[in-house]
Copies of this chain bind each other. A is one copy, B any other.
Amino acid sequence: MIILTDKILENVIKKRPLHSYKGTYGRIVVIGGNPNYGGAVIMNALASVYGGAGLVTVATDPSNFTALHAHLPEAMVTDYHDTTQLQILIKNADVVLLGSGLGEDDTAYHVLQDTLAAVTLNQTLIIDGSALSLIALHHFPLPNTHVILTPHQMEWQRLSQIKIDDQSLERNQSALQQLFPDAVLVLKQYHTQIYHQQQVMSLTIGGPHQATGGMGDTLAGIIASFVAQFHSAKLVDCVGAAVYTHSAIADELSITQYVTLPTQISMALPIFMKKHAN
């Protein structure tokens, strides 16, 4: 097991080549946010844009459009009920982030189904939040592409059938191997772990100042932006760097703050990444 340190950033966060344009840094489609959990996709998108993604579009319930734009005019929006539009967006995306604040009702089911059907080879699909529970419940097979799963322990229990108290490194590794052999698993817990094939990385930074709603949505957005733009690094290293960055920023904020808000972490990304780019 590898302990994540800031060395992971060296491998991932590279100085940008002079000749490049926004397409170089990836097109992300964020899909989620029902009328009750619209904040989740706002936090996804803030992290993606401040994390350096080239272009970010949010497919969500239309009731979330205005609040998203109030935070982030840099993002584009589309109605996630519009299957045709959603399929076009996914087709043109490099990274699809699915599930934050999606809920588990019929709309969520159909959006999930449409997305899984539309994703193609050589894209990266990040599956977060209630999309994980729906996949566990309905035994949806994962599409044939790069997949990153970001469950917390209860969501992993639903996916793997391993009860939280029994979730050991070996069992997690074995379940991942059997169920989703090519996926990267980010198991969010005290000392978050990243599993990929034979490899396990563990996070030992971060702290209880992060124990507030929306942290996971922000983490998923950082992962999306790192995967979208850092093409010279391995996928699992991009994920490792994103997980490390998320908690390293929170720890810096916690020097002066009792709690650290998810949106504050996103705002701090450009300065943190500049310090660690090489």
Contact = CB atoms under 8 A, between A and B. Distances in A.
Interface of A: 13, 16-22, 24-25, 35-40, 42-43, 46, 49-56, 63-67, 69-78, 190, 207-209, 211-215, 254, 256-263, 269-274, 277
Given A18-B208, A39-B72, A55-B212, 16 more contacts: A16-B211, A20-B208, A21-B211, A22-B215, A46-B73, A49-B261, A51-B259, A52-B212, A52-B258, A64-B69, A66-B66, A69-B70, A74-B262, A258-B271, A259-B270, A259-B273
Contact of A270 (B258, B263, B273): B258
A42 B258 CA distance: 21
A67 to B, nearest CB: 4
A139 to B, nearest CB: 26
Interface centre among A65, A77, A258 (most CB of B within 10 A): A258
Interface centre among A51, A73, A260 (most CB of B within 10 A): A73
A19 B190 contact: yes
A15 to B, nearest CB: 9
A246 to B, nearest CB: 15
A66 B66 CA distance: 7
A58 B257 CA distance: 24
Given A52-B259, A261-B50, A70 B72 contact: no
A101 B233 CA distance: 33
A197 B36 CA distance: 40
Nearest to A85: B36
B18 A190 contact: yes
Contacts of A70: 66-67, 69-71
Contacts of A63: 65-66
Nearest to A270: B257
16 contacts: A25-B212, A35-B65, A38-B77, A54-B213, A55-B212, A55-B213, A65-B67, A66-B67, A67-B70, A67-B73, A75-B213, A257-B273, A258-B270, A258-B273, A258-B274, A259-B273
